[in-house]
Every structure is written in C-alpha cells, then in structure tokens.
Amino acid sequence: MDTLAPVAIPVGVLGAGSFGTCLAMLCAREHDVRLWARNPEIADAINQERRNPAYLSDIEIPKGVTASSDLEEVLADRELVICAVPSHGVRDVMGRAAAYLSDEAVVVSTVKGIEVDTCMRMDEVLSEVLGERHDPRLVFLSGPSFAREIADHRPTAVTVACHEEAYAISVQESISSPWLRCYSSTDVIGVELAGALKNVIAIGVGVCDGLELGLNARAGVMTRGLREITRLGVKLGADPLTFLGLAGMGDLVLTCTGDLSRNRRVGLELGRGSSLHEIVAGMKEVAEGVRTTQAACQLAERHGVEMPISNTVRALLDGEIHRSEVVEHIMRRQLRSENE
C-alpha cells in the first residue's frame, strides 16, 4: 500500500527541459500540473503527442500535464510553482512570473548555479525579483538527481530547504513518491552553494579523467573539492553538516562520476584536448558549471576564501593555462594541514 498520499494541489512547472519535464510527470501522479515551455512548438507537441520532442522524448507524458508557452496561463491559481529553468534565465523568467504568482504560492527552485553578473545565489535572485512577500515560501530542491533516472522511476533521494521549515515539509509531502524521497532542511545557503559549486568540481574531475590521471587523482580532487566548497559555505553562514549530506557529498559524487553528468562531460572533453567552444556547441543542455566557475571564484575572492581547484578550473576555461599544466597548478601549491 502506498503510504505517500499527498493532497492534490494545482502545480505549475516553469521550464520544459529534462528536469522540469520529469518533475511535471512526477507531480501529475497526484496533482493537476501545468508546464511552461519557452518554445510554443514544444508546448503544442506535449499537448498533442504526449511527448516532449526535445527532452526525455521516449517517455509518455501523463494527461494530467497541460503545457503552454503563456506564463500567465500556467501560473493562474497555482499553489505550488516549480522553477526549473537554467540559472542564467531565472531573473528574467521569474521576474516576469512575479505578476502572476498568487501571494500564497510556494515556489520551489531546482536551479543549481550562481548568477554570473552579480555572484548571487539563486535564493538571493528569487528573493530580489519576487519581493519580500514570497520570502517565507521560497523552497530549494537539490541533491543527487539525474532527471533521466527520476523519469525512469529509479530510487532517488533529495533535500528540500526553506528558512521556514513548515514549507519545506509541505513540499516534501507534496512531491515525494515511491521512487523520490525528500528530506527537509532549513540550511538554504548550504544547499544552494553545494548544488552550484559541485558542478565546478565535476569539471575538474572530468579533466583529470580525460587526462587519464587515475583513480587516486579523481578521489583527491573530489575530497579536496568538497573541502573548499565547505570552506566557502561556512564563511557565508552555512551549516558544515549540509556538505556531508545529499546536497553536498551526495550530489558531488553523482556529478563527478555519473555518465549522465554534463559538467563531467565538459571536463572530460577538455582533458582530451577539445576546445570549450566545441564542447558547448555540441551540447543539447546547459552545463551549469561553465558559467558558475567564474562567479564562484569571484565570490570566494570577495570573502577571502581559498578555492584552488575551482581557480584551476577557471584558469583552464579562460585559456590561462593549458590542460598539461593542470596537475602542476594544483600539486605544486604550498604544503599545509588537511584541515585548512
């Protein structure tokens, strides 16, 4: 017997990429779902053919999902709104969405990134564009969760964080399913930083694997990468334990080692000698770490936090160093205590 039986509520999902599509399908088990697609042709195809032609196209979309390219139509009377657009589109999309959001709507962000121009986390961007009235009901979902596996009903565990824990628990109850288990948290800063910065480290791990540096190197970069993510997070007020949980270590392990990881793929190809332009041009979906790396390094410098692996990734992406110099860039640094 299914013990997870949430009360049906109207849900709006913004973003018809892989993650938005899989969450729309997941929510349609119990809820009435409207899915916003930027491209009207995608919305029409979903409604007529019950498939998203661009993402997860082999999976039938339930009739409980109605797609539209009209933000007002999608958001009207929605009690739960899920934002699943790329980080560089959050300010624009949610800025336009603000006019149509109910004052009582709970907004869930699944976006893992840092805004390039401002170095703001997504919780800060949403707070700014939506205003104070929505602050208590901003919830952030993160953790080791490839959209493909959720769509295939593979067991997945994630974290949902909100400053007001009651809303995190409400979302936890609304979207958990027999194959998606949500854990609640109040550490928004930690969950947001962990989700964004693990993408940077995943590029670094991909580079090491592309250079065929071995499993020792992979483990070292992941471990020290988690250390520098934690260092910045604690400086900004996060709970260090968050970085040992699903949003931290869990997502880092998945993104650094999983074949479905776009950020790992970027690093692999860089390590093998491809140019960043070639790699990005050949990708169907956004690898958030490419944009996040620059912002993460600026944020760390602003707060006086050392992030040597992230800075090495930034230098490689910017063309300041060659892939052959990556090892020396990291290994020749001054020796120090592991706890630093």
Q: Quick check: helix, strand or coil at residue 258? A: coil
pLDDT for 336 equals 86
pLDDT for 332 equals 83
Check if the beta carbon of residue 93 is closer than 8 Å to that of residue 87: no
Total of domains in the chain:
2
Q: Quick check: helix, strand or coil at residue 238? A: coil
pLDDT(2) > 80: no
Same domain, 291 and 163: no
- Residue 3 counted as domain residue: no
Q: Give the pLDDT confidence of 175-222 residue by residue, as tens digits.
A: 999 999 999 999 999 999 999 999 999 999 999 999 999 999 999 999
Domain span at residue 82 reads 10-186
- Residue 284 counted as domain residue: yes
- Tell me the catalytic residues: 198
The domain boundary, picked from 159, 186, 213, lies at 186
pLDDT(276) > 70: yes
Q: Give the pLDDT confidence of 119-153 residue by residue, as tens digits.
A: 999 999 999 999 989 999 999 999 999 999 999 99
Q: Give the pLDDT confidence of 44-99 residue by residue, as tens digits.
A: 999 999 999 999 999 999 999 999 999 999 999 999 999 999 999 999 999 999 99
Same domain, 163 and 220: no
Same domain, 199 and 324: yes
- Residue 255 counted as domain residue: yes
Residues of the chain with pLDDT > 90, as a percent, come to 92
- Tell me the pLDDT of the chain averaged across its residues: 95
pLDDT for 6 equals 59
Same domain, 231 and 317: yes
Mean pLDDT of 271-291: 92
Which bin fits 180, alpha (ψ -120 to 50), beta or left (φ > 0)? beta
pTM above 0.75, yes or no: yes
pLDDT for 328 equals 87
Same domain, 129 and 222: no
- Residue 337 counted as domain residue: no
**CATH code of the domain covering residue 150:** 3.40.50.720
Same domain, 20 and 149: yes
pLDDT for 232 equals 98
Q: Give the pLDDT confidence of 319-330 residue by residue, as tens digits.
A: 999 999 998 888
Check if the beta carbon of residue 175 is closer than 8 Å to that of residue 182: yes
- Residue 5 counted as domain residue: no
Same domain, 165 and 254: no
Same domain, 286 and 171: no
Residues of the chain with pLDDT > 70, as a percent, come to 98
Confidence of residue 3 (pLDDT cuts 50, 70, 90): very low
**CATH code of the domain covering residue 195:** 1.10.1040.10
**Residue 303, both tokens:** 């707060």
- Residue 180 counted as domain residue: yes
Same domain, 86 and 197: no
Same domain, 155 and 207: no
Other CB atoms within 10 A of residue 170 CB = 22
The domain boundary, picked from 166, 186, 206, lies at 186
**Residue 271, both tokens:** 């390590």
How many residues in the chain? 340
Phi first, then psi, for residue 321 (nearest 5°) are: -130, 155
- Residue 91 counted as domain residue: yes
pLDDT for 5 equals 55
Same domain, 154 and 195: no
Confidence of residue 250 (pLDDT cuts 50, 70, 90): very high
| CA distance readout (Å), 23 to 62, 146, 311 | 12, 11, 34
The domain boundary, picked from 136, 163, 186, lies at 186
d(CA 328, CA 311): 13
Same domain, 62 and 194: no
- Residue 24 counted as domain residue: yes
pLDDT for 4 equals 46
